[in-house]
Structure formats: structure tokens, C-alpha cells
Amino acid sequence: MSTPKARSEIFSVAPYVGGESKLPGVNRVIKLSSNEGPFGPPPAAITAMQEAAANMHRYPDGGMALLRAALGKKFGLDAAQIVCGNGSDDLLALLIQSYGGPGTELIMSAHGFSIYEIAGKLAGCVVRKAPEKNLTADIDAMLALVSPATRMVFIANPNNPTGTLVPQTEINRLRESLPPDVLLVIDAAYAEYVTRPDYDPGIALVNAGGNTVMTRTFSKIFGLGGARLGWCYAPPAIIDVLNRVRGPFNVSAMAAAAAIAALGDEHWLQDGAAHNTRERARLADRLTEAGIKVIPSEGNFLLLDFLEADRAIAADQYLRRHGIIVRYVKSYNLPSCLRVTIGTTEECDLLAETLIAFVNG
């Protein structure tokens, strides 16, 4: 019997596997596998979402006027140059559908965020990956892949899962060296955690011309991953395209209410960033001292390199036996590495003690 056939490129993509959250037989699981904020959602966001639920028989404002105004105010941006999405994944996929497609090439770095490859292949693009140096995107290697078919370049800065940051001068050089009609997408999902003083999440390059987009998310420092909300800042012509291709109601009214409340919490960002900076350094120091190779990170996670795949798998299993779930990143072509999210102080201590015990046999 013949059956409906999906487009062939769909089968070139393996389904995305998210961080696990359960361990059989373990009651209290410490989940450090998805780079979520450690403190739950901002309390004001919970209240706002509950209040918005009383009106959920109404469609949301598809243009997200209030949320865009709040974002514009918080980050000093023109609200007309913002589009919101059902997570930033939504916007990344819409950009690829709009500017990529069959016959086009998309460039990313070897250990870049997996969604670019998944969404790129689904759209029919050829996805080309540039080798990295020291687990950091190598701008010259990315530029070497540019061909007449190149339409888009994606870079997460800082990158997930490596945590590494490309210096601002190099990001600027990438933009200057790319043909102007190639769209550069800077994914700044971890912008709020970066401590380097010269860092710009992409705003300056968006302002400088018509060919760069910055994407951001509420899933990390704002603690709203389950609500699904991302946004992008882009030149007017790209905003116009996104407003044509996005779902008319791609953000729920409840998510928008929660996000506006989260932005209104004066201390949330600052406190979350300060905690992350402190605990990230403390955890990195303890693990380094124990002999584990820690990749320097500007995100809310650390990539740990156990040098051999067997050793990484053994560490992962040891952590699981102690109720701690982290992320084995073999699918990122990093078979000797685990990615661990910065949790609460208590969670970081427990992770450090458990890994130290593992190392000491």
C-alpha cells in the first residue's frame, strides 16, 4: 500500500534530543543538562501568567506591541526593529526558511548550536561547518567556506555547547569580510552572562547596516524556558520578512505577560548574572584543581573535556548514579566531553564533590 511521503531532506535530520530530566529510581534529581536558570521563574512572571490565564479565551496581540515596547525600553532598542517568537528556535527557523532553501549554503562552526543544522537541512540548505581553533569559532575558516551559494552565516556568541566567546574584533571582521548580501545571524542566547567588557551581543552590527540579525531568549537567565519566548533585533527589511512568514499568533498571551513581568524585575538579571559569574569561576577552579580539563566559558555552563570518550561516559554514569544529570555532547562531535549547567551554589558544590570523588576513584 502506498503511504504519504514527506520531503526527503526531512530524513537527513535526527530528531532533537533535549536534556533529560528523570533518572529511574532516583527521587531528587539535579538537572544540569539544559542550561536553564537555577532559581525558577521570576515570581512576578508566575503571577502575571496566572492573571493572563483569566483571559486566555482571547487571542494574543499577534504584533506583541507591549512586549516589544518593554524590550525596547530595557535594552535601549527601537521596538519597531524587534520580532518575538515561540522561543528563539522559532525565529532561527523562520530566518532560514526565508533566506535559505534549496540551492543555498549555510555556514556555521564545527561545534556550533545544533538547531542551525537541523533547521538548515529541513529547509533544503547545504550546511557547511568550519573547523574551530581551541573549541572556538575560527573566523578565517568560516570565511574560507563562503561561495556564491552562501546566503547565511550563523554564530552563537558565546557558543553552546563549548561556552567559548569570539572576541568582538573578530565578529566585526567576520561581518566586514562577508559579502554584504550574506545574512549574519548572531545568536546571543547567553549574552546576559558575558563579563568581557568589549562584548556586544550584536546590537552595534544590526545598527550598522542591513545584513545582521541578533537573536535573544527568555529561556536562560530569565528562567522562562517552558513558556517558549525568544526575540530578535534586525534591520527593518528583515523585520518585514519575518512579520510575513511568522505564525500570526506565534507567541502566547501567557508567555508574553510572563516576559513583561520578568523584564520589570529590577534585580533578576543582575543577581542571576552575579551568581553565575561567581559560581562558574568557583566550579571551574575546583574541577581544574581535581585534574579535569575545563574549557573557559562565558555562558551559564562549563564544557568539561575528559580526553577520552570512555572516561566521559563513565563520569556521566557516575553522576547519574548520584542523581545528577548533565549533558553528554557526543552528538556535537565532542565524544570526550560533558556540558554542565551552573546551578545553585548547593548544586555546584554537589556536582564538584561528586566529580572529585569520581576522579579520585
Ligand X SMILES: *Cc1c(COP(=O)(O)O)cnc(C)c1O
**Contacts with ligand X, residue ranges (CB under 6 A):** 35, 87-89, 113, 156, 160, 187, 189, 217, 219-220, 225, 230
Residues with Cβ < 8 Å from 190, sequence gap 6 or more? Answer: 35, 156, 158, 160, 220, 298, 299, 300
Contact 262, 268 (CB under 8 A): yes
Shortest reach from residue 82's CB to ligand X, in Å: 14
Shortest reach from residue 113's CB to ligand X, in Å: 4
Contact 186, 215 (CB under 8 A): yes
Backbone angles phi, psi at 133, to 5 degrees: -120, 125
Contact 261, 44 (CB under 8 A): yes
Quick one: cell of 123? 529547509
Shortest reach from residue 38's CB to ligand X, in Å: 15
Contact 240, 234 (CB under 8 A): no
Taking the least distance from each CB to ligand X, the nearer of 117 and 352 is: 117
Taking the least distance from each CB to ligand X, the nearer of 71 and 350 is: 71
Cα separation, 250 vs 256, in Å, equals 11
Comparing every residue's Cβ against ligand X, the nearest one is: 87
Taking the least distance from each CB to ligand X, the nearer of 37 and 354 is: 37
Shortest reach from residue 132's CB to ligand X, in Å: 15
Question: How many Cβ atoms sit within 10 Å of the Cβ of residue 361?
Answer: 4
Taking the least distance from each CB to ligand X, the nearer of 98 and 159 is: 159
Shortest reach from residue 242's CB to ligand X, in Å: 15
Taking the least distance from each CB to ligand X, the nearer of 218 and 358 is: 218
